[in-house]
Amino acid sequence: MVPADSLKIYNSLTRKKEVLKPIKKGKIGFYSCGQTIYDDLHIGHIRTYGYWDILVRYLKYLGYEVMHVQNFTDVGHLTSDEDYGEDKIEKRAKERKMDPWELVEYYVKRYFEDMDALHIQRAEIYPRATQHIKEMIELNKKIEKNGYTYYTEGNLYFDTQKFTKYKTLFHIKKGGEEHRVEKDSNKKNQQDFVLWFSDEKHLMKWESPWGIGYPGWHIECSAMSMKYLGENFDIHGGGYDHLFIHHPNEIAQSEASGAKFANYWMHAHFLTVNGEKMSKSKGNFITARELLAKYDWETIRMFMASSHYRKPVDFNENAIKDAQDKLDKLYETITLAEESKGGDKNGLYEEIMTFWKEYQRAMNDDLNTAKALSELLQLSKKINTHLDNNKVMINEAITVLKQAANILGVELNKKTKVGRVEFDGKEEVTEWRELINQVTTQNMRKLLKIRQAYRNKKDYKTSDMIRETLKEKGIIIEDYANGTKWRIR
């Protein structure tokens, strides 16, 4: 095994890979920015949350006790992501003619349904912003007492000029240029941000020392993360877009209150759809529910694990088909292993040891899931060529295959059979009906070669009859360039 202290993660704050050194031995405190809960999960959310699930799974595999906190933002996140525009929750509630509290409950329920359907393991705590107003007010008081705020036109602002390292946080660059913010005449500096909005007309409002109103978006995560993980915790994760406003503001206000805050910052990059940024106006907005209605959850998780979390990824039909093909290869290996009677050879032991070394090397390199998955597929091939090994060792290899896949969020626990047959043009027509009675890899190889022989003769009526007979028995076949894949779902 690779020692746990070999894990390196890319720290966005220092812009380099660093060995993970937990504050408390054997324990990790992890806060990930969660959903602003006014709509369904979409494919971009899935990618980010799926990677944090992989992170937690791997940390637990290494032996860490992980406290994962992921919030729900149910007030204060404005449509601009900055300090202007409408509250996203209030805006959607008005559109739906719903009470905002009712809207939030509706989407929280759907959020957990979608996450569970994707087998994204639940965090230990899901704090909601509206349930932590007291903590936000107290945190704002600390920041105010330490001299980092000013009050104007009913709002409490954070003064970024007084926090001298503000402009160096994550280098606040977007597209090579300093991030621009909307002009606000009430701000001393345009990068200042609101800690508390005074607005008695807001549908969700509370009393505070600065007037009746609601909290700024950024103060929420600081208050909730520190309540459950302490003023100094290990890892803070979020989307790539949080690099430019949300997370610099979180650090500034937290440290201004006297906290040390998070040691490591991780950011998952953007996802595009068919090469374009996802948006409802472009008609390429894909929700988790729409995705799950079309694809198996393990195929989706395989797609997510196929790329590195810090690199942009494009979702398209070819990519999801590639993910399905990879998943089928793993299930095919399990099918072959289950049918194998084994033998007296023992070469698999060395293959397993080599695999674990390379797999963990990849995962310890900033969660390089793409490389880890490649190693997993290589192990699958090795098992396929070592089916004459000792049966106990074959079973051990499958256990290892499943354990490593499970870390990537692909559990391989379905009761299914999968296989593929390659053709060489020498297939012969023989009797085929008896072969369907017992579904084994050997029988399916023979059957699909017979079907291909009919296709070679352009007897498509018979080849289609074989396909439909298989379908009636729950066996789906898919033709490709030089062969046919089959699976029982």
pLDDT at residue 158 in the model: 98
Min mean pLDDT across 98-102, 149-153, 359-363, 428-432 is at 428-432
CATH code reported for the domain at 317-407:
1.20.120.640
Are 396 and 318 spatial neighbours (Cβ–Cβ below 8 Å)? no
Are 310 and 269 spatial neighbours (Cβ–Cβ below 8 Å)? yes
Q: What is the mean pLDDT of residues 246-270?
A: 97
**What number of CA atoms fall less than 13 Å from residue 216's CA on the CB side?**
27
Whether residue 28 is predicted with pLDDT greater than 90 in this model: the reply is yes
Spatial distance between the Cα atoms of 202 and 326, rounded to a whole number of angstroms: 50
Are 21 and 379 spatial neighbours (Cβ–Cβ below 8 Å)? no
50, 52, 111, 364, 434 from 55: Cα distances, Å: 9, 5, 20, 11, 49
pLDDT at residue 175 in the model: 45
CATH topology of domain 4-282: Rossmann fold (3.40.50)
pLDDT at residue 173 in the model: 52
Average pLDDT, the chain: 93
Q: At which residue do the structure tokens 């299914």 appear?
A: 416
Spatial distance between the Cα atoms of 200 and 412, rounded to a whole number of angstroms: 53
| DSSP symbol at 425 | S
- Return the structure tokens found at 448: 């699909």
Percentage above 70 pLDDT, the chain = 96
Helix pair angle (348-364, 391-407), 10° resolution: 10
Q: What is the pairing mode between strands 232-239 and 27-36? A: parallel
Q: What is the mean pLDDT of residues 384-401?
A: 96
pLDDT at residue 482 in the model: 86
Could you read off the pLDDT of 36-49 as tens digits, one per residue?
A: 999 999 999 999 99
H-helix or E-strand spanning residue 237: strand 232-239
Whether residue 177 is predicted with pLDDT greater than 50 in this model: the reply is no
- Return the structure tokens found at 465: 């009859």
Q: What is the mean pLDDT of residues 350-366?
A: 97
Min mean pLDDT across 131-140, 325-334, 417-426 is at 417-426
pLDDT at residue 381 in the model: 97
pLDDT at residue 391 in the model: 95
Spatial distance between the Cα atoms of 470 and 116, rounded to a whole number of angstroms: 32
- Which is higher by pLDDT, 82 or 455? 455
First to last CA, the chain: 35
Domain parsing of the chain, residue ranges: 4-282, 317-407, 417-488
475: phi > 0 → left, psi -120 to 50 → alpha, else beta; which?
beta
Residues 6 or more apart whose CB falls under 8 angstroms from that of 46 comprise: 118, 120, 288, 291, 300, 304
For residue 480, what pLDDT band results from cuts at 50, 70 and 90? confident
Could you read off the pLDDT of 265-278 as tens digits, one per residue?
A: 999 999 999 999 99
Other beta carbons within 10 angstroms of residue 112's beta carbon come to: 13
pLDDT at residue 178 in the model: 47
H-helix or E-strand spanning residue 269: none
323, 428, 455 from 463: Cα distances, Å: 28, 13, 6
Whole-prediction pTM: 0.93
Instruction: Taking the CA atoms of 100, 104, 106 and 110 in sequence, report the sign of the dihedral they define.
Output: positive
Whether residue 225 is predicted with pLDDT greater than 70 in this model: the reply is yes
pLDDT at residue 441 in the model: 87
Residues 6 or more apart whose CB falls under 8 angstroms from that of 407 comprise: 54, 57, 58, 61, 363, 372
Q: What is the mean pLDDT of residues 91-117?
A: 97
Could you read off the pLDDT of 227-246 as tens digits, one per residue?
A: 999 999 999 999 999 998 99
Whether residue 174 is predicted with pLDDT greater than 60 in this model: the reply is no
Q: What is the mean pLDDT of residues 256-265?
A: 98
Percentage above 90 pLDDT, the chain = 84
Spatial distance between the Cα atoms of 64 and 44, rounded to a whole number of angstroms: 28
Whether residue 172 is predicted with pLDDT greater than 70 in this model: the reply is no
